[in-house]
Structure 1
Amino acid sequence: MKQPITQQLYEQDFCLWLEHTAQNLRSKNFGEIELEALVEEIEALGRSEKQELENRLDVLLAHLVKRIYIDSAYDNRGWELTIQEQRKGLRRLLKKSPSLKNYFAEVFDEVWQDALSQVQLEYRKVSFPDTWEFACDVDSLLSTTFWDTSSSS
């Protein structure tokens, strides 16, 4: 059985398939849309947003832990720049998709454990707490200077 042209396009040239699908949606030419592929791609977009949140949170937490518990004049500035960059990326992501704040809370503990495990591997001689000892709500994680108890910027 011969595949429909849109299915062939989906498998051979994804970008062209996207353009073709968008054009068919605008034209309300629904019979020409490979519906199952479109559903898969929409679901993949949601997974991608969640994965970006997890990745940025992982990097943020790892660098926060380093900055909080390791006093290294040599590394502190680099860690702070990475913290700033991840916070900026998370703020933008959450502005675009505010519903991800719920997912943030849902995955925090798991991401914390992953970040902590990685930092423990890097710094075997440093003792780190097993749990996150600070506020873990989105706003705090995106703004608090945890290593400087005299301020919270």
Structure 2
Amino acid sequence: MVLLPQSPTHPTLYDTDFWAWTQTQVKLLQDQQWEHLDLPNLIEEIESLGRQQRQELRNRLSVLIGHLLKWHFQPEQRTRSWVSTIRIQRIDTLDLLDDNPSHKPYLAQIIPRVYVMGLELAIKETDLPPAHFPENCPYALEQILDSKFFSGEPSELLANFER
């Protein structure tokens, strides 16, 4: 299979059918047909995968922090759904870190950034004023990831989830 260079009159398989392009690239790699690989797009996609993993980690942590803030600062509104969200985000975050251990040093670097996103979530979902929340993340990274940590006053809702 010869892949034509991209041009307005000759779009590549990458442009017209991404799934088919991926399968072609896999086959070329398996067959060690290096000269037929679409290296520019292959490089771009591999770089993109790395960025996606970091984005996924930031998203998970921001939702987790947002729900920890809601839990802490609006205790009268607590629900089992909040407990589930906190637990699932922790599990998924830890799974991401298990799959990508080189991201662990990145965590301390992104906490201030994901705190801002989590804070926005908490403000939007609680209707509490921004001044009601701490300016900086009140939780240590170890607390954020600790399956037993729930900030604020104890809650009966946690009894159903303890093992």
Specify if TM > 0.5: yes
| Structure 1 match to 2:70 | 66
The one of 132, 136, 139 aligned to 1:127: 132
Counterpart CA distance in 1 for 2:82 and 2:123 is 16
Task: Call closer, same or farther: CA 1:147–1:140 in 2, change over 3 Å.
Answer: closer
Q: Is the 8 A contact 2:97 2:104 kept in 1?
A: yes
The code of the aligned residue for 2:85 comes to: T
TM-score (norm 2): 0.80
| Structure 2 match to 1:43 | 47
Counterpart CA distance in 1 for 2:98 and 2:33 is 33
Unaligned runs of 5+ in 1: none
1:94 aligns with 2:97: yes
| Structure 1 match to 2:157 | none
The one of 119, 123, 126 aligned to 1:116: 119
Q: How many residues align?
A: 146
Structure of higher RCO (CA pairs closer than 8 Å, 6+ residues apart): 2
Q: Post-superposition shift, 1:81?
A: 0.6
Q: Post-superposition shift, 1:12?
A: 0.8
The code of the aligned residue for 1:130 comes to: E
Q: Is the 8 A contact 2:64 2:89 kept in 1?
A: yes
Shift >3 Å, 4+ stretches: 2-5
The one of 75, 80, 84 aligned to 1:77: 80
Q: Indicate the percent of aligned positions where both proteins have the same amino acid.
A: 33
The one of 2, 24, 30 aligned to 2:28: 24
| Structure 2 match to 1:146 | 150
Q: Is the 8 A contact 2:57 2:93 kept in 1?
A: yes
Counterpart CA distance in 1 for 2:153 and 2:79 is 16
| Structure 1 match to 2:12 | 8
Q: Post-superposition shift, 1:104?
A: 1.8
Task: Call closer, same or farther: CA 1:75–1:149 in 2, change over 3 Å.
Answer: closer
Counterpart CA distance in 1 for 2:78 and 2:140 is 24
TM-score (norm 1): 0.84
Counterpart CA distance in 2 for 1:132 and 1:8 is 47
Q: Deviations over 1:64-87 (max 9, x none)?
A: 001112112x53321111000101
